[in-house]
Amino acid sequence: MLLLQKHRRLLFTLVSLLAVLLILALVLIPRFINRPQLLTGNAPNGNWTSSSWAPSNNTILGTAANTISNVWFTGHDGIISEVFYPSADTPNTTALEFLVGDSSHSWVDEEQTATNAHTQLYDPHSLAWTTLNSAKRHDYQIKKIIYADPTRSALIQQVTFTALKGTTLADYLLYVYYDPTMHDAGDKNTSYSEQSNGRTILISTDATGQYASALAASLPYQTGMVSSGYVGLNDGLTDLKATYSCGSSTCPDDTMNDTYSMAKRGNTAQTGLLDLSNNGTLNTTSATSITFQLVLAFGQGATATQAAAQTLNASLSDHNNQLARYVAQWHTFDDSLNQPPAIGATTQIQQAQQQEYYLAANVLKAAQDKQTGAFVAGLGTPWGNVNGDGDEGYHMVWERDMYEFASALIVAGDTADPKRAIEWAFTKQQQPDGSFPQNSFVDGTPHWTGLQMDEQAFPIMLAWKLNLNDQQTYTQHIKPAADFIVAHGPATGQERWEENGGYSPATIATEISGLVCAAAIAQLNGDTASEQRYLHTADYYQSNVVKWTYTTTGPLGNGHYFERIDDNGNPNDGDSITIGNGGGTYDERSIVDSSFLELVRQGAMPATSPYITSSIAVTDATISETINGNRYWFRYNHDSYGEHDDGSNYDGGGTGRLWPIFSGERGMYTVAAGGNAEQYLTAMLATANSSGMIPEQVWDNKAPAGYTPGTPTKSMNPLNWAMGEYITLLFSIEQHKMADVIPLTYHRYVLHQTHL
């Protein structure tokens, strides 16, 4: 009897055990069947997506305020976009962001689209940024403090990931996603993972292997959970969100199935799954928040990958307060500037405009290449997300742009940085015949081949402002440039919009002022013959600019106004002009812009001249709009440099939009005419995005559906020229005179009026 009971108990135990095993099998077997094994080795090459640049409406922009850290960074929608290294004209990234999923693998968010970003300056006198990216699903948030390592070529993000709504860290999977475009090319990268200093790091190189980036966090990646793949084919985002390797009946499986060790020569991207437990030191089932550093470092040369890895490890291991040092260096620069005036009807308005002044000055300083001193026009590419390798964007040097904001920095009290810039222009950019190229890279290599005569004069004017008038500078740089103007002016191959050649009021105004400055420097150096030749030529240009560019038979207004440009110096012959970017062909008398105001701005004509006032009436009626009480202007009528009417990106043609710099230029004219220009300062500030960046263009009153008039378009933001114009107008209002005018020119043609 006892034996029978014992057998029954044993049988019951076996049956129970089998039942449990069966239940477990029913639960677990489908899971293992549906989840494929991790794919490793080199990523299969194939039909990947070609690289493109980032959107250019930047809400994040910075660099260290020194010449040690050769890293510049930009960002939008709470993420890092383009990081420049080792020079200000060389972008290396398209995106550095987080991907967030749930631990049950039922969803994955891409940070830049799945969160609402609230971005602001970490400190009002630095270019460190804080962004709080809150999930649209409301269950997590990512806070970042973003800055550059002031002692190394590395970008640092101090990140805090927080679980909300009763969840804990165990409920989430946090991935780093990095899309490199190494050394200004995104389709020829090689990416892989390696071990360095006890941690797994993600390495990317350009085609030559001479430039490299290294990416890691102070948290480790989960063991084996890193991957380098081809964008749109088998990169991490595609793996997580697509269906090509889905291991379940419901796709996508929101699971990282690919752990490729390398992707060679293509548009690559890298992904790593972070270990939120920090190697088991944090209980993720109870913790709701974790703070860590994410570092992207760079290296160059024969040992670029080793250099990048060493920089990465040094930044991650540095326990000094690098953020405080970064901020302190920016404070030192801001403290060296002139105090901004209090302009505005209320204290709140005054403070907002003063804060914009410091931001503008810092953005301009950040546009300077650390090693050469050259200033780029903008850290980005207009409509970058539809442009890829071969599109150099605005991160090159135009003498026109450099003069405009170098002069603004001089107005602000910074002469050291503009001096470095003009010395670079003379020694690296100026050509053997004395001319300056249309634009160039920061090493001085010319890019586009147009001849723009105003760009021959601006360096002379900047040299005069900075008292660069010694014998060597004069004979080797200023005299050759002035001689070039005498030999090739007043007509220009291209005017300031780089589209048409001929006789331009703006170009001629600049040539006049440049020659007057050259004459003064020639006199200081005892070259009387050149002095007289330069003044004679300037007087000739000034006395004929109306004859060459002012029509009296035009179809607009009363028919009397300055044209945008005239092909042959006969503004009444009705010749045709073909607008750039597919804008069409028109009678040149019917195309107007506000560039004639440069005659006043450069001191070549009084603000009260009837030629000026009659032209203002025509341009205001033809190319101006008012938005929310603020006045703005188009470049010229029939301009096609802008988005299409349906809102799609500029692609070589489109519709030109409103430019905030023209509100600044009208404000400068108003100051010269003795009026109150505060409304134009207000108009400029009203166009800034949420981070205070003033753009190249804003939407007009015919903005496509989904876009708001007066807000930045998808062209360049910030435009450094616009940021500089804001500074110059601010001080001009306070001083009741144009703060950047060349006094020599103004005295000769306005105060004395002996050559009108």
Q: Which residues are catalytic?
A: 495, 498
Q: Sign of torsion, CA 119 121 127 128?
A: negative
- Identify whether the C-beta of residue 571 lies closer than 8 Å to the C-beta of residue 563: yes
Tell me which residue of 422, 438, 443, 533 sits closest to 479, measured CA to CA. Answer: 533
Residue 719 to residue 405: CA distance in whole angstroms? 10
- Identify whether the C-beta of residue 630 lies closer than 8 Å to the C-beta of residue 686: yes
Residues ≥6 apart with Cβ < 8 Å to 689: 57, 59, 695, 711, 712, 717
Enclosing H/E stretch for 331: helix 322-335
| Measured CA distances, 337 to 151, 332, 444 (Å) | 24, 9, 29
Residue 426 to residue 434: CA distance in whole angstroms? 9
- Identify whether the C-beta of residue 174 lies closer than 8 Å to the C-beta of residue 141: no
What residue has token string 């191959």? 493
Residue 673 to residue 733: CA distance in whole angstroms? 12
Output the six-digit token pair for 538: 């300037």
Residue 519 to residue 469: CA distance in whole angstroms? 11
Backbone phi, psi, residue 135, to 5°: -60, 135
Q: What is 396-426 written as a DSSP string?
A: SB-HHHHHHHHHHHHHHT--HHHHHHHHHII
- Identify whether the C-beta of residue 384 lies closer than 8 Å to the C-beta of residue 415: no
- Identify whether the C-beta of residue 136 lies closer than 8 Å to the C-beta of residue 114: yes
Strand ranges in 643-707 using DSSP code E only, listed in sequence order: 658-659
Strand ranges in 11-168 using DSSP code E only, listed in sequence order: 60-63, 72-76, 79-84, 93-102, 108-110, 115-121, 129-135, 140-148, 154-163
Residues ≥6 apart with Cβ < 8 Å to 690: 59, 119
Residue 410 to residue 398: CA distance in whole angstroms? 18
| Measured CA distances, 465 to 301, 325, 459, 743, 744 (Å) | 39, 33, 10, 10, 11
Q: What is 496-522 written as a DSSP string?
A: TTSS--BB-HHHHHHHHHHHHHHHHHH
| Measured CA distances, 148 to 68, 292, 330 (Å) | 11, 16, 12
What residue has token string 């270019």? 127
Residue 685 amino acid letter: L
What residue has token string 């990140």? 159
Residue 136 to residue 139: CA distance in whole angstroms? 8
Q: Which long-range contacts (CB under 8 A, 24 or more apart) does 194-200 make?
A: 194/309, 196/309, 196/312, 196/313, 197/309, 197/313, 199/313, 199/316, 200/226, 200/272
Give a three-class secondary structure readout of 134-193. EECCCCEEEEEEEEECCCCCEEEEEEEEEECCCCCHHHEEEEEEEEECHHHCCCCEEEEE
Q: How many residues does the chain have?
A: 756
